[in-house]
Amino acid sequence: MRIVFVTVVVVVVVVCGVAAGDVDDNDVHSSAREPRTGGIIKSMLPYFNLKIKNPFECRPGTRINGYPVLGTCMSQYDCTALRGRIDGTCASGYGSCCILEAGCGDTVERNRTYIINNGTTSGTCTYTIAPMKIDYKVKNSVSEAVGACQVRLDFETFSLSQPDQGTTTPNNASVCNIDSFEVTGNTNAFGKICGENQGQHIYLPIDSKAGTVATITVVMSGATTTAVNRSWRIRTTYIPCLSNMTAPPGCLQYFTDASGTVNSFNLLPASSTTLSQIGNLKYSICFNNQPNSCGMSFSSTRFLLTGAPNGAATTGPASSCAEDYIATTVVDRTGVASTTSGSFFCGGALTPFTTYAQPTVIFVRTDGQETSPTDKNYGFALSYSRAGC
């Protein structure tokens, strides 16, 4: 019986591969990816797509918090088995668009799973991020079954209490000791964050040898003094190993646009009067190299890292920015260290600079206290653009 079944499966997979072509998951226009086959094979496709060949993205067209919801096309049976939520159909009506969500205590092991608090607003929530589950590996397949090497988390919403304001004893100003979100068990562990982090993202490498990715712990303690509606919805993307979305090793954040803005964690609106810089963080922000570009220029619309509001910019050696800073290697076109700019930046403003060190990496470090919590340090909004050759 088993031999017969395997044979049928192989035949169907081969037929699908030929008839449907490659169902490329990177293509977001689902109609172009939906397999085009007829009869009995077609009716079985949702099953084989999930279990055997190629789970692929579907977009039911609904939005949550302004973000398009991403699902995975599969059979209704499989969606139910995975405790998914069906939102519309896919594969020309033969499949169900299955939205996968992980609540407190759950394990994430499938692409496009949303990490949600699901109404939990107190206590501790933990999630296990596991390597991507592959139901069946097809040799030489270009499908999702080739596996993933990194996990990207996109914070579609994220609200926790603000960090310690420096009014409690001991003074742990800027530390997330009321509420916190922490990644452990991963080499990109970067500290505890809290506050408002919608729009942020992080990358976590998959340790395929150990078969682990990370544990996420969200702590919500009762000591909150500021009213906050604690909630989060975080989309997980398993990044295919050979994808151009793979971040270089050690990069917590990775930017590939020609220009844009990088915000520090918990960067609040300018009108905020809260100490919002997050303490005890250590991480790297990376940018890809791009054709016809040999360097990168940085400036800031907002910048306050250990300094007085409207205070002077400090750049130079580590000793002049010993507590909280961003750092990068600033060199000219020929690779010679800049004489006009140091490599460590802190204080009340950022002096714009251009560096030709590629790839460009910005290292961020904050310590676990604020010398003057009344300065209400808030972090940075760093604008970047590409410099020509």
- Residues of this chain that bind ligand NAG (CB under 6 A): 25-26, 57, 70, 101-103, 111-112, 118, 132, 144, 148, 170, 172, 175, 177, 227-229, 237-238, 240, 244, 256, 288, 368
Q: Report in angstroms how near the CB of residue 340 gets to ligand NAG at its nearest.
A: 31
Q: Per the structure block, which two tokens stand in for 223?
A: 């000591």
Q: Report in angstroms how near the CB of residue 285 gets to ligand NAG at its nearest.
A: 15
Q: Could you check whether the bond before residue 55 is cis, i.e. omega within 30 degrees of 0?
A: no
Of residues 106 and 375, the one with the C-beta less far from ligand NAG: 106
Of residues 45 and 160, the one with the C-beta less far from ligand NAG: 160
Q: How far, rounded to the nearest angstrom, does the alpha carbon of residue 363 sit from its chain's CA centroid? A: 17
255 vs 361: CA distance, rounded Å: 10
Q: How far, rounded to the nearest angstrom, does the alpha carbon of residue 143 sit from its chain's CA centroid? A: 22
Of residues 182 and 375, the one with the C-beta less far from ligand NAG: 182
Of residues 87 and 144, the one with the C-beta less far from ligand NAG: 144
Q: Report in angstroms how near the CB of residue 389 gets to ligand NAG at its nearest.
A: 18
Return the residue nearest ligand NAG (CB atom).
Answer: 103
Q: Report in angstroms how near the CB of residue 75 gets to ligand NAG at its nearest.
A: 19
Helix axis angle, 2-20 relative to 39-51, nearest 10°? 100
Report the DSSP pairing between strands 107-108 and 123-129.
parallel
Helix (H) or strand (E) holding 304: strand 295-304
Cβ proximity of 174 and 279 under 8 Å: yes
Q: Report in angstroms how near the CB of residue 280 gets to ligand NAG at its nearest.
A: 6
Q: Report in angstroms how near the CB of residue 205 gets to ligand NAG at its nearest.
A: 14
Of residues 118 and 263, the one with the C-beta less far from ligand NAG: 118
Residue 198 burial (CB < 10 Å; 0-12/13-18/19+)?
middle
Q: How far, rounded to the nearest angstrom, does the alpha carbon of residue 146 sit from its chain's CA centroid? A: 21
Q: Report in angstroms how near the CB of residue 230 gets to ligand NAG at its nearest.
A: 10
Of residues 103 and 250, the one with the C-beta less far from ligand NAG: 103
| Neighbouring-strand partners of residue 380 | 303
Q: Report in angstroms how near the CB of residue 40 gets to ligand NAG at its nearest.
A: 27
Q: Report in angstroms how near the CB of residue 308 gets to ligand NAG at its nearest.
A: 23
Cβ proximity of 366 and 264 under 8 Å: no
Cβ proximity of 199 and 111 under 8 Å: no
| Neighbouring-strand partners of residue 228 | none
Q: How many residues belong to the chain?
A: 389
C-alpha distances out from residue 75 to 48, 94, 308, 359, Å: 9, 8, 58, 44
Token pair 């793979």 is found at 246
Of residues 40 and 227, the one with the C-beta less far from ligand NAG: 227
Of residues 100 and 350, the one with the C-beta less far from ligand NAG: 100
Of residues 122 and 256, the one with the C-beta less far from ligand NAG: 256
Instruction: Find the angle CA(70)-CA(73)-CA(79) to the nearest 5 degrees.
Output: 95
